[in-house]
Amino acid sequence: MEEMTLNRELLKKDAPIGVFDSGVGGLTVMREIMRQIPNEKIIYFGDTARVPYGGKSQDTVTRYSEQIVRFLKTFQIKTIVVACNTASAYALDILEKASDVPIIGVVRPGAKVAAEVTGNGRIGVIATEATISSGIYTKYIQELNQNVTIYGKACPLFVPLVEEGLLEDPVTDEIARRYLTELIDIDIDTLILGCTHYPLIRSTLGKIMGKNVTLVNPAYETARELKEMLTELDLLQEKPPVLGSNQYQFYVSDKAEKFVHFANSIIKYGILSAKSINIEEY
């Protein structure tokens, strides 16, 4: 946050928080925010027309993220959460430099906890190809703790398996076993779930890794860090929003129906609708 020039005048306590992701995965982050700071208004954007980001390049992911930030700013938000590991890995630095609103990503909070909890100094990171090849988890963790080694493993099939609903399934078990074998062999004691979809197969991952490996869920850590930051900036909303004030709003770049269905399976809130917008216009 050092690099940002915050325009404190513009930041209002009762303004909403903007949360975005390439699609539905970021809802696992939103869910944690809803649990930990239940009085906040949230505008969620899922880039469902261009999902997934995980196999795409830094230039493309950054351009998409910049468009989304411009869209979210039309709501006079008080802060932005980049609820996507790939966008956090590739675009957060650039977004931060250009923003007059505080922005937090999901990578740094997860990295911080992993650096703290590891006992043997061997940390595994599973994520999309883009997040792994960015090397961002290694960078952040080693800034905090130089006595650790980080092992990254891209797991490109996890997102489609989750989206197909195969959360507890022999096929997901088999694929997970293949991806995780080398991390088990290396004897890691901490595993970062470096993609917002992965907490949805947490039980499968935990079963394969065994009970001696701590699973770090960046969604949880991000919500915690967001709460701390809002408290420090005196921007935390203490009172619940007034009735009928539309506390949670959802926007997507593709059609809304499919999103609403999946969203309701993640967030037990009863999402009635999402609005579809053309993100390329921002």
* Binding residues vs a second copy (CB under 8 A): 48-50, 55-57, 59-60, 63, 156-157, 159-161, 163-164, 170-171, 174-175, 253-255, 258, 278, 280
- What separation, in Å, do the N-terminal and C-terminal C-alpha atoms of the chain show? 25
Catalytic residue among 89, 104, 195, 279: 195
User: Is the Cβ of residue 161 or residue 263 nearer to a second copy in the bound state?
Assistant: 161
Q: Which is nearer to a second copy, 61 or 113 (CB)?
A: 61
CB of 172 to a second copy, least distance (A): 10
In angstroms, give the least distance from the CB of 280 to a second copy. Answer: 5
Distance CA 134, CA 152 (A): 10
CB of 85 to a second copy, least distance (A): 18
Element containing residue 111 per DSSP (H, E):
helix 107-117
What is the smallest separation between the CB atom of 110 and a second copy, expressed in angstroms?
24
- What is the maximum span of the chain, computed from C-alpha positions, in angstroms? 54
DSSP, residue by residue, 33-88: HHHHSTT--EEEEE-TTT---TTS-HHHHHHHHHHHHHHHHTT--SEEEE--HHHH
Q: Measured from the CB atom, is 174 or 182 closer to a second copy?
A: 174
Examine the residue annotation and report whether 195 is marked as an active-site residue of this protein.
yes
Nearer to a second copy, 56 or 202 (CB): 56
Before 52, cis peptide (omega within 30)?
A: yes
Catalytic site includes residue 155: no
Give the active site residues: 84, 195
